[in-house]
Each structure stands twice: as C-alpha cells, then as structure tokens.
Amino acid sequence: MINPKNQKQPQVNNTVASKGSPAKIVMMPDGPSHEKIRERAYELYEGRGREPGLDEQDWLRAEHEILNAQR
C-alpha cells in the first residue's frame, strides 16, 4: 500500500491578489520543503517574542525568504 505522506504532491498556497480575488500559488515538489518553511516560520515567531496571531504572516515571510534565497 502506498503511503500518501511519502509521495511528493504540489502544495497550494491561497493568497489574496491585489484586487481581492484569490490567487493560487502552486509549489512544485522541487521547491522549498514544508519542513524548511515551518522551521523558518517558527524562528520568526520566536524572534518576535512568541506573540500569537501572526502565524500566517510568519509562514508567508518564511516562504518568501526561502524562495528568494534559492534564486
């Protein structure tokens, strides 16, 4: 039996485009790993004193930093 957790699947990140319509960003398997982004987002969270409520902003910033570092 195939374990779906072991298969690489595109990850979809729904963000809001400038005019309020949803935009989809598809990260292909060769992009940054979910784990790398999660680790960086947690670093950002800790760096601002573990203030709750900004998890989505931390995730998006971490994703942006990692994607730009790969270029």
* Residue ranges making up the domain that contains 66: 29-71
Residue 14 lies in a domain: no
pLDDT tens profile 25-38 = 655 566 778 999 99
Higher pLDDT, 14 or 39: 39
pLDDT at position 57 is: 97
- Asked if 47 and 54 touch (Cβ cutoff 8 Å), the reply is no
13 φ, ψ (degrees, to nearest 5): -115, 110
Residue 52 lies in a domain: yes
Residue 10 lies in a domain: no
Q: How many domains does the chain have?
A: 1
Residue 17 lies in a domain: no
Angle between helices 55-69 and 34-47 (to 10 degrees): 120
Residue 18 lies in a domain: no
pLDDT band for 3, please (50, 70, 90 cuts): low
Average pLDDT over residues 43-50: 97
Higher pLDDT, 10 or 64: 64
Q: pTM value?
A: 0.57
| Average pLDDT, rounded, for the chain | 77
Residue 70 lies in a domain: yes
